[in-house]
Structure formats: structure tokens, C-alpha cells
Structure 1
Amino acid sequence: MSQSLIVFRTSGKVEYQHNNKVHAFNEFIGTIVNETAVELDSNFFTNTVNRKKFYAFQNSEHDTYVALYFDGVVTLDGNKVKSTLQSILKTFNKYEEEEINMEKFKSLADLQFNQLMKTKTTSIGEDINSNSSTPLGGAPRSGAPNPLTPTTTDKRKTAPGKKLRKWNGDEIDDSDGKILDYSNDAPEKVESANSNSNSNPNLLSTLTVDQGAFTKENELVLVKELNELLEDEEYESDEEKTVETSKFGSIFSKFSSYFTGTVNLDEVSKKFYDQLVSKNIAPQTATSIISRIKEKLQSKSNITLTLYRQTLIDELTKILTPNVGTDLLYDIKKNKLGRPYVISVVGVNGVGKSTNLAKLSYWLLQNHLNVLICACDTFRSGAVEQLKVHVNNLQQLNNVESTKIDIFEKGYGGGDHVVQTAKLAIEFAGNNGFDVVLIDTAGRTHSNAKLMAPLKKFGEAADPNKIIMVGEALVGSDSVEQAINFNNAFGSKRKLDFFIISKVDTVGDLVGTMINMVMATKVPILFVGTGQTYTDIKRLSVKSVVNLLMK
């Protein structure tokens, strides 16, 4: 059975094609022009021409179409077809606007097209407008599988009782007896603990790893990249823009019912103050922001709601936009200090320091850097073992030749032990070809001066190139004091360099913690944590955060 897909302009220029049968689309395009094609939904068309079934979706804003056809008796879910075509156009517009390598678009378009073709059936009877399928690249409906999670249908009868299940190739393996715990097989770590190495190894479990799943062009990696692109609010579909415009329109109308035309500055300020606080921005921070807006607008006459809103958007954007360089890779690769590049990770208990340190390690590995993780959380029970598990996982996941990751640890001990461990780790890394040393530190209560005091001594001894604080998106108002106290903990000559904001995927549009921490310290956000896998770390999109705050 043959099938083909093209992206083309209304001028007739073909921008992309999957397979080489472009000529077959001519008659179908004619039915669209002559308005004889069936319009299933807004900008979504279908027709059957010469025993071939065609579909097309139009992006009127960008003057582009995407169309597909297949011959033979097949049935596809109409909603899935529309969603796929819409997503392909969205992907095309994104890569075209940024004028970057279109080869990546071709990979993502081919992926979406091939995924759609896998859903076709060879019998007739399925309603073309059925709502039973999950749109490719969209959020799964209730009860639907995650698009990144492998699923299959196990046709074998289920035996009574529960069995251990694992993936074996392309299907579920129900065989008994094997536990997915490879911690006993982990390679021996350098400088392993002495007196603290007798903990039960079966308590340490690691991920099973499909090595191929982390290659750059592998389908799982492309799916993840595609999902991130389609979730990016900077590239909303026409339908999403209509919904968002409608939402804003209703808000605008509600305000306008109180303030027709020109608005009262104090009253509209109160409304937007409430909006900011509702997004997890601390009251004192929201007050400061609104005061700035009022100061900028008080000399103007005929202040409108639109002007006020845009001024607030500009102010939030300014707050989150870094005023220092955030190209960490560039800094690492230009390092000429004669020792490895040292990064220390600090934060409050439970915010995810070790997890985000592991994500950062994986990012560095994928950028061809050798990483040594130093276990300087020598207070919390199990902290060293937790890092060993992460390192074991990352060693298995690492698919970049000639790069390596390992752990340096000296067991558990007090403050002097921490300083000595950090110094030895840096020396070891320099002698063994490591580019970066990532130092994990103990979590500490920011309001406890006794616990915070050792950070100054540690900073002076380790002298890290960068100090990164992990802050939690869930915290809210307390994030202001956390950021200030950690920023001041290293003394007058040394401050925090970056934030990583963890657990952003858990708060929806309540992302005010980012504003709290940046505004309190002037320290920029380097990454945000968006999930529980090593690839769930993203550069901050200022525009996306501001959109969420104004939503």
C-alpha cells in the first residue's frame, strides 16, 4: 500500500514531502480550491479521488497546507489525522521561523507520519470522527497511555496471581524470578567508602536501560523533543490561540465592565496584584512589582487595560531575563585554570539536589565532557549510596564515546571531612582526565544559622567556579527567604551563580517561585526540572513563564 505526505504553500511550492508521489495530490488540491472537498472541521478537509483517500489541514496564518493520501481500503481516526497534520505544520512553522537546520524538522515530520500510519486498519466501520484516540503529540486523555511509555498487547492468558513483568525486546516478558536490580553488577567506584560500604546492596536498585533509546536520532528521543516542542506555548496552534484569546477576552470584558476605556490605576493595580499572588508570587514581591508598574504609568494619561497589561508583561520579562551570561558549556570549555571546572550544588532539604545534579551530569555527558561526582553530603543517611545509584545509571545510559562519569566519596563525617573530601576530589579529577567536578552538598534549613555557617568555609576551601542552588517550584513565599539566605551564606565576596528550579511539572501555571527567587537575589535561572528522568531538564523559556503568570 502506498501513502505520501507533503507540506506546501498556497502558491504551489512544495516545502517537504514524505515519499515521491507529489503528483497524486493535484486533483485533491483542486477539490479544495473548488470547494468540493468535505470540510470535516475548521481548516480540515478530506476527499476520495481515483480510489485514493486524502486529508489536508490548513494553517491560514502561515499560508501553508499539509496533506496526506493513501490508497487501499484503510480507516484512520479523523481526530488523530487532524492532530497529526496540525502538529506537523506546527513543527514546520517553528523550524522555519528559527531558520535552523530543516533536517531535524524532516526527522520529526517523518516520525509523526510513521506513527500515524501505524494506527491504520484494514477494515471499514470505524467512525472517522471518533474521539477514541489520543492525538499524537498531545496530552493523553484520561486512562490513555503516555506516548513515551512503551505499550503492547499481551495476548497470552494471565496466570493467577501476580508475576514480575519486564520489557524484553518488543513485548512484555512474564517470566518469573529475575529482579530488575543491577546494583550488584555496578562497576567498582573510585575511592569507595571503607567503613560505610557494608550496607545491603539489594536496597540499591537501578533503571534497566535500552542503550539505543538515548542515541540522538532514536525514536524515543525524537518523540520527547517533539512533545516538548508541541507543548511550548510560544508555538500555539490556531485553535489554542482562539481559546486563549477567548479567555483573555472574557477577562478584558470583566475589567472593562468596571473601567470603561480609561482605567483607574489603583483599582486595576489591585486586580493584577491579586493575579500575581494567585500564581505563587510572594505578597511582598507582588507589591514591589505593582509599585514599579504604577511608577511607570502614573505620569501617563488615558491608561488602558491593554497598556497596563503590556507594561506588566515587560516588567516580568525584564526580571527573568539574565543580565549575565548563562552559557555554562562555553565557560567550561574555555576553562584555563589548570584544574577541572568545579560546580557545587546547594539547597534546602528535599528539593531534589542529588536528582538535579544527576540530570546536569547527563547533560554534560551528552556534550562530550567527563564528569566526576563528589559525594559531600556526608550527613544524610544513604546520601552516598543514592549518588552511587545515579552514577551507575548514568554509566549505563552514557552513549557518547570517549566520555566517562564516576563518583568520588570518602564515606560519612563532619564539616572538616566535607572540606577534605572536596579537595581530594578536585585533585583526583585533575589527575585522571575529568573536565567537570560536580559537588553534592548536604541539604540544610535556610533559617538555621548554625547549619548555614559551614557553607562559607566550604566555599573558600573548594572555591567552585559556579555555585548552583536548587529551588523547588512548590515552595511559594518561603522561596524568597531561602534564596536570600543561601545567597548570603558564602560571605560578602561570593554569591550564588545560578538557580535550578525543580518540580516545575507539578505546579501547572503557579510558577511564581521563579519570580520570587530571581527578584530577591538577581541570580538567573539556568535550568528547570520538568520530570523524573535524566533528560527532564530544560533551559528556561522566559516567554513561556510570563505567559503562565499572565494566564
Structure 2
Amino acid sequence: MLDHVSISHKSGIVLWSKSYTPSASNLVGSSSNPINALLKDVLVEGRSAVHGGGGGRESYEAGGWKMEWVLENGLDLVFVVAYHRLLHLPYIPTLLETIKSLFLTLYEPFLLSFVDSLRDGVVSTTASDWEFNKLLDGWDKVFDKVVKKAEMEELGVGKARKPFGRKATPIPKAALDAVFGGEEPRTDHVVPAAEMPVAPSTPKGQSAEEIARNVSALKARLAKAGGGGSSGGKKKVGGGGLPGSPSGGGSESDSPSKRSSSNNNNNKPPAASKVMRKWGDSSFTESDMAALDFSSPPPPPSSSSSSDPSSSAPTLSASQIADLISKDAMGSRTKDGFYDVADLNGSSSGGGVLEGGGEDEEEDDMIEKALEKSRLRKERELLGEDLGVDGAGEEEGGTGGRVVGGMSSWFTRLTGGKVLTKGDLKPVLEAMEKHLMSKNVAKGIAEKMCEGVEKALVGRKLGGFGSVKSEVRASLSQSITRILTPKSSTDILLEIKRKQQTPSLLLLSSSSSQAKPDPYKMVFVGVNGVGKSTNLSKVCFWLLQNDLRVLIAACDTFRSGAVEQLRVHVRNLGMLREAEGKEGGEDEGRRTRVELFEKGYGKDSAGIAREAIAYAKEKSFDVVLIDTAGRMQDNEPLMRALAKLVTVNTPDKIVFVGEALVGNEAVDQLTKFDRSLRDFSSATQGAEQRGIDGMILTKFDTIDDKVGAALSMTYVTGQPILFVGCGQTYTDLRHIRVNHIVEALLKD
């Protein structure tokens, strides 16, 4: 829609310009440049511009263009947008204010030195002496994003499209009448036009008898395409439509083809009797259950119920295997040679979620803020409000008691130099509570956080305005840090290493040198659909990168496709190992690094887990990852079954997998899971009381800086967040640090 955009100095130096069409580029380069006419007539000579559009917008028309502009008087810069004079583009004022704000923000040091040099007469005023392309590198990309966002906001985004599908085209009625002689054709089947039989071309000298035979053949082909003869009791389709044909005027039953069809029908076996309906109160038989079992057959007995990934689905291509991981998201190796996943701020991957995901997302965030600022300025101008010089009132929260938002505006309500009381802190704490809830912190936890800050500040004497802000932020930061600091170890690799090096009691009491240590056991629990199986496979990839042998136990025997999903993950992880050249080794018994242990559906999950652990010990696996069925936290029978699995198999780590998208629901889920496990696991005499040992937060790439679920979950159990999931590849697993969450929660 735009023809030309330029940023220039009033002296005539063009800092940056962009033309969208060849004709616009030629027009700007000619002697009749409309931009020069605008600068001369309106800005230099002070002639009045044309008022057009809403809100008293000024524009200038020249050379078939309509031009709108905005000035930066402090630096004598002019931002001009030109487009065809017949177009109506309401978003142009917002676009101009946005690019002005962004340009000044990004290149302020250079612009100040450039303008000072011009004013002092130190440098030449010819554009050829300046290398603006290098100095303003990256501005083209930023500008294109601004234009795209402004246009999409003006036009609306995400209009639903009608589903596209190919529909069958009915045969025209005239064609059917020509074939069937005007009688009613079959209606139980519509032949698509692409499948419609085409009659052979007939020369002009063809006899009537030949034409009749062709018509009969066409009828037979149409009847065959429609599914055969009509059902009993319905009217038969008539004979040929032309007089004088052999079958004309007679019934189709007189033809040899019809008699042959009748003989074939007589030889067919009698139809089977109707099967009675099975109602809900009738019992199911084994044959009924077998008819509904569409799962794959169990593996042969020689495999000991363990699935080899090489024997499952077809192999993937090299490009498909490469897409399973993201090189940019790979972690790093420690000094000891261990592979560790990257931190969420992108210390190992070059960009993280909380930091905006790299330069592109930082630019997007900056553009969004500039657009919002331009919209606020436009709204206030329409309301006749005075913003002050360069919008200072807007940046500081407005004048006349108006508060734009943000935690900085909360602190300005406090006054220093006195002993703080509850009355002084009440408005600040109310705003703080709303801020925490907007970050997805559960309401009850946000209230307790504010109570802690209140207790820390009431009665404290503050000496100035600046100290109020720093003390309140420090108090909130300290409170969040205390909650998020882990109370137990989060180094799973160290725990695995210790278990491998420390012999079990059975090994000490056994006189056989062939006794083997127990594998490290991790159980993944959570509600339905949070991503337990997916993040289990990510943890498996991390363990494989540390040269550990992993057995995945498929203990979700309820959800359809759960076993098949894990089988696909095991196949993919095995192919990744082969692609990296790490599969195999001198010890043939340790050839396969990852396997799946499954017994199908409808079995006892606790028993499957026990058998998987025994198999892992026998085959010298280092880690067993136990996948469980999703269940709601209020379902007592299912929670008892989960507690039974924990009590029977005594896992080393019980990991709760939850979504980062939820707020109050996260507290309810985690509280009831932890309480049910502790209550039901200790119900058995002599059993140890077990609860949640750690959490994995999934879908963390969808929440921006709304990380309140992390604070809520840690506050409930006091257990650490082991990992966060932030993507769809096996490398999209991250560590989250305490300071990351604190910064995100305090961010305005």
C-alpha cells in the first residue's frame, strides 16, 4: 500500500529511505521529487498543508502522492510516508509515531553526534560522505515488522477460512434424461464428474441400431458405477430411449444380461440373520472384547516383552532424523564431560523464553511497546489531553493522578521520610497483588506474598523516595527467592552416579559376584494432557546424551495409543543414537541404549512397573522411566492405584508434570496429588510416606513472562522445578533458575 518512506534531516540529508515500486524510486530520484516539494513548501516556507482524514490529520499532495509526516524538533528530523492519493490508510499516524520512537531509541547516540556535527559545521552536508547503510544496519528489518503489525492491526488478523474440500459434482439432469429416456434415475449414489463414463463419439452416418447399443452400454456402466442393481421392490430402470432399438419398449428383464444377473442372485447364499443390539446392562463376552481390540500384537516371547526400536515402524530419512532435535537448543558439556541442558535465559542456546527468545523477539517486544505508546498518544490527542513535552507525562504514568500501570507507578504512591504503616502500604500491596495475579500467580499465594512484604516493611523508617522503591522491590525479591530456593538436590545425574557406585543391601548380603545394582527409577505423574510422555522422552534424550542406558516402562494401560506413542519415541531416540554413531560398543550386552517395556492395555500398572524394574536390573539398565496414565486429582480410585504403584516399586524420584498455563488450578492439582500420595502410600503397614519430589513445567514457551505457575507450585510443595519444556523437539528441555523467575515476576 505504501509507495515511499524516508527519514531525513531538515538540511536535506536523507538518512534512510525505502521505495516499494520502481516508479516510486524513479520519481524520488528525479528533479520533481515530491518529498523535496513537501520540505520546501510546508516545512521551510511554512505553507499550510491539506487537512484530511480523521482527527485533523495533515497531508500534502504532490506528484500523485499523498504524504503524511511527523517531526522531531529536537534533532530536526522529518519522518515522511507517501502513498497514492486515492487511498485511505487510517494507520499512518500510528505508524509514523512508532517508527519515530523506535528510530530514536535504537540510534540515539549516533543521531546526537550527527546533529551536533551539522550544527557546528564540522562535517559536510552531502549524503555521499556518510555510510548510513552501515550505521543504520538492521533498520530495514525493524521497519518491515512495524509496517506489517500496523497493517494487520488495522485490517484484523485471523479471519476464519472456510474448509476447502472437493465435492462431488452431480451429473446434469439433461444428460440423465438422454440416457434413461426421461425415467427417474437412481438417487442413492451420485457419480462424480471425474468418474462419469464418457460415451464413445458417434459419426454422423452411424445407424440407429448402433446408437441404441451404445446407449445400452452407457446405461450398464452408469448402473455399475452406482453400485449395481436396485434393491427389491423398487421400480426398474427402463430400456433404451430410442425407438426401433432391440431392447426398446421392452423390460430390462427380457435382456440376456438381466437373466444372467437373476441367475447369479439365485445362487447367492441366504443373508445372515440380524444381530441383536447389545444394551448397556448386558454383559460383554470375550468375543465382543476381542472385536474392539485394535492394538498391535504383543512382541514374541524371546524379546521378554521389550520392544527393539529397530524392529518397529519404517526407518526415517536423514532429514527427518535431523528435525527431531534442534542444534540451537542443544545444551553444553561440563568439565566432567556430563551433558547438561541449557538454561532458560539461553546461556547455551543463544536465546531463551524469558529473555524474549533472541534478537527477533526483543525487536517484536520493542515494536509492541512503541505501537502501544503511539496508540495512547493518539487517543489522548483525540480527547484533548495535554501530554507535555515529548510525551513525558505519558512515560511517567500521566498527569493529574493518571497511572498508566507498572510496578514503578505503585512505588510512587509512597512517600519517604516517615515510619511506614499499614495504611501507607495498603494501596501499594493491593496493586502488587493484582500484578502477581496478572503473572499467573494463584490468588491465595499472591495474598500471602503481599502479607510477607507488609510484615517486612511496616514500622521501617525510610529516608527518601528512592529508598522506598528499592526497599519494596528488595523485600518482594527476597520473599520470592526464599520460596523458590530448592530444599533438596536437583542434580539427578549425581544421584544416579551415587546409586551406581553404592552397592545395594542385596548386593552386600549376596555371596555371588554376579549380583547387579538396582536401576535409578523415576515416575512421571500428572493430570490428562499435560505432556507426560513427551517430556519423559525429552528426559530420556538427556540421559542418553550422558551415555546412560534407559528403559521406558509403558504403565499407561488405559489411554488408547499411549503404548504406540512411547514406541515411536523409542524408535526415534534409537535412530538419533545411530545417527550420532554412539550405538553399540565392545560390550554386546550393552548394545541397545534405550528400550521400551510394555504389556499392552488393561493390565495392572504397578505389576508392569515391577516387571520392568526386574528386567532393567537383569539387563544392566541404568535408569527406568515409568510413564503413568493421566488422572484427575479428585478421582480417589485412580489416586489409590497410583499410590500402589509408588508403594510397590519405591521410585527414587516422583516427578509431577504440570502446565505452565494454569494459575489456581495448578495449586489444586499439585496439592491433591501430593496429599493423596502421602495418605495412600502410608496406609500400607510399614510403607514409607511418599510425596512429590520435583516438578516439570510444560508449554513454557507459550506464557511469555507469566511465570506465576512456577512460584505457585514451588510454594505448595517446597519441592524444586527440575526442568521446563519449551518446544516440540527432544532438545527443548531447559533448566530454570531462581533469578529468572524473580526478574520475570517483577517485570512491569
Common fold: TM-score over 0.5: yes
Amino acid at match of 2:498: K
Q: Which residue of 2 aligns with 1:328?
A: 492
Paired residues for 1:295-374 under 5 Å: 295-302=455-462, 304-335=468-499, 336=502, 337=504, 338-374=517-553
After TM superposition, give the deviation of residue 448 of structure 1 in Å: 1.6
- Cα RMSD after superposing both structures: 4.2
1:470-506 deviation digits (Å, cap 9, x = unpaired): 0111121011111111112223511111100001111
Which range moved further: 376-385 or 227-236? 227-236
In structure 2, the CA distance between the partners of 1:207 and 1:255, relative to structure 1 (3 Å rule), is: farther
Which of 537-546 and 220-229 deviates more?
220-229
Letter in 2 for 1:512: G
Distance in 2 (alpha carbons) for counterparts of 1:266 and 1:260: 13
Q: Deviations over 1:300-326 (max 9, x none)?
A: 123713211221011112211112111
Q: Partner letter of residue 527 of structure 2?
A: V
Other-structure match for 1:498: 694
C-alpha separation between the residues in 1 aligned to 2:571 and 2:736?
A: 28
Mapped partners of 1:444, 1:282: distance in 2 = 22
What's the counterpart of residue 103 of structure 1? Answer: none
1:409 to 577, 585, 598: 598
Can you give the 5+ residue segments of structure 1 that lack an aligned partner in the other structure?
1-39, 46-74, 83-128, 136-140, 143-160, 162-183, 195-200
Match of 1:274 in 2: 434
Aligned mates of 2:614, 2:144 — CA distance in 1: 53
Task: Give TM-score, length-normalised by structure 2.
Answer: 0.45
Picking from 536, 556, 576, the partner of 1:377 is: 556
Instruction: Give the corresponding residue for 1:433.
Output: 620
Per-residue deviation at 1:78? 4.8
**1:436-463 C-alpha deviation (Å, 9 max, x unpaired):** 0000001000012122111221111111
**Residue of 25, 41, 57 corresponding to 2:107:** 41
**Aligned match of 1:131:** 141
**Partner residue of 1:165?**
none
Alignment pair present for 1:533 and 2:654: no
- Alignment match of 2:410 (pick from 255, 275, 293): 255
3-state SS in 1 of match to 2:461: coil
Alpha-carbon deviation of 1:130?
2.5
State the shift of 1:248 in Å: 10
1:510 alignment counterpart: 706
The answer to whether structure 1 residue 477 and structure 2 residue 673 are counterparts is no
Question: 1:240 deviation in Å?
Answer: 7.3
Aligned counterpart, 2:98: none
Structure 1 residue 401 displacement after superposition = 4.3
* Structure 1 Cα separation of the partners of residues 530 and 317 of structure 2: 22
Evaluate the alpha carbon distance shift between residue 254 and residue 526 of structure 1 in structure 2; reply closer, same or farther with a 3 A threshold: same
CA distance in 2, matches of 1:344, 1:132: 47
Q: Aligned equivalents of 1:209 and 1:536: distance in 2?
A: 18
What is the deviation of 1:406? Answer: 0.9
Q: Is the 8 A contact 1:453 1:489 kept in 2?
A: yes
Residues 215-234 of structure 1: pairs in structure 2 closer than 5 A:
221=330, 228-231=349-352
Q: 1:387 maps to what in 2?
A: 566
Alpha-carbon separation, structure 1, partners of 2:728 and 2:362: 27
Mapped partners of 1:397, 1:79: distance in 2:
44
2:353–2:701 contact (8 Å) kept in structure 1: no
Task: Return the alpha-carbon distance in structure 1 between the equivalents of residues 537 and 608 of structure 2.
Answer: 19
> Are the equivalent residues in 1 in contact too, given 2:413–2:428 (CA < 8 A)?
no
Deviation readout 1:9-36 (Å, 9 max, x if unpaired): xxxxxxxxxxxxxxxxxxxxxxxxxxxx
Q: Contact 1:332–1:341 (CA<8 Å) still a contact in 2?
A: yes
Provide the rounded CA distance (Å) in 1 between the counterparts of 2:632 and 2:330.
38
Write the distance in 1 (CA, Å) between the matches of 2:708 and 2:317: 33
Identity %: 38
1:523 deviates by 1.3
> Is the partner of 2:624 in helix, strand or coil?
strand
* Contact kept? 1:77, 1:130, Cα under 8 Å: no
Equivalent positions of 1:69-80 (< 5 A) are 78=134
Cα distance in 2 for partners of 1:385, 1:503 equals 22
- Partner residue in 2 for 1:487: 674
CA distance in 2, matches of 1:80, 1:487: 56
Runs of 4 or more, structure 1, over 4 Å off, are 42-45, 75-82, 132-135, 187-194, 204-216, 218-227, 232-237, 239-244, 246-250
Q: Is 1:521 aligned to residue 717 of structure 2?
A: yes
Looking at structure 1, the residues matched to 545 and 396 of structure 2 have their Cα atoms a distance apart, in angstroms, of 44
Contact 2:306 2:597 in 1 (8 A): no
What CA distance in whole angstroms lies between the structure 2 residues aligned with 1:79 and 1:325? 50
SS at match of 2:599: coil
Q: Separation in 2 of the partners of 1:281 and 1:360?
A: 27
Report matched runs for 1:164-313 at 5 Å: 190-192=303-305, 209=319, 221=330, 228-231=349-352, 251=406, 254-255=409-410, 258-261=413-416, 264-302=424-462, 304-313=468-477
Structure 1 pair 315/371, CA: closer, same or farther in 2 (3 Å)?
same
- Within 2, Cα distance between the matches of 1:355 and 1:271? 38
Whichever structure has more strand as a proportion of its residues is 1
Q: Which residue of 2 aligns with 1:120?
A: none
- Tell me, in whole angstroms, the C-alpha distance in 1 between the residues paired with 2:677 and 2:610: 17
How far is 1:265 from its partner?
Answer: 1.5
Other-structure match for 2:14: none
Secondary structure of the equivalent of 2:607?
helix
Q: Give the drift of 1:259.
A: 2.9
2:94 corresponds to: none
Summarize the Cα distance change of 1:433–1:80 in structure 2 as closer, same or farther, 3 Å threshold: farther
SS at match of 2:141: coil
Q: Give aligned pairs, total.
A: 381
Q: Does the 8 A contact of 1:499 with 1:526 survive in 2? A: yes
Say if 1:229 and 1:316 are closer, same or farther in 2 by CA, change over 3 A: farther
Would you say the 8 A contact 2:705–2:744 is kept in 1? yes
Could you tell which deviates more after superposition, 457-466 or 540-549? 540-549
8 Å Cα contact 2:524/2:654 also seen in 1: yes
Aligned residues of 2:306 and 2:596 also touching (Cα < 8 A): no
Gaps in structure 2 of 5+ consecutive residues: 1-105, 112-130, 150-165, 167-295, 333-341, 370-391, 398-405, 505-516, 585-591, 683-688
Pair 269,133 (structure 1): closer, same or farther in 2 beyond 3 Å: closer
Higher Cα radius of gyration: 2
Instruction: Using structure 1 for the length normalisation, give the TM-score.
Output: 0.60
Instruction: Select which of 582, 605, 610 maps to 1:418.
Output: 605
Distance 1:425 1:278, change over 3 A: same
Amino acid at match of 1:231: G
Q: Tell me, yes or no, if the aligned pair for 2:521 and 2:623 is still in contact at 8 Å.
A: yes
The answer to whether the aligner puts 1:447 opposite 2:634 as a matched pair is: yes
Q: Mean alpha-carbon deviation: is it higher for 467-476 or for 206-215?
A: 206-215
Q: Secondary structure at the match of 2:567?
A: helix
Q: Which amino acid counterpart does residue 489 of structure 1 have in structure 2? A: S
What corresponds to 1:171 in structure 2? none
- State the 1:229 CA deviation: 3.3
User: Which secondary structure state, in structure 2, belongs to the residue aligned with residue 439 of structure 1?
Assistant: strand
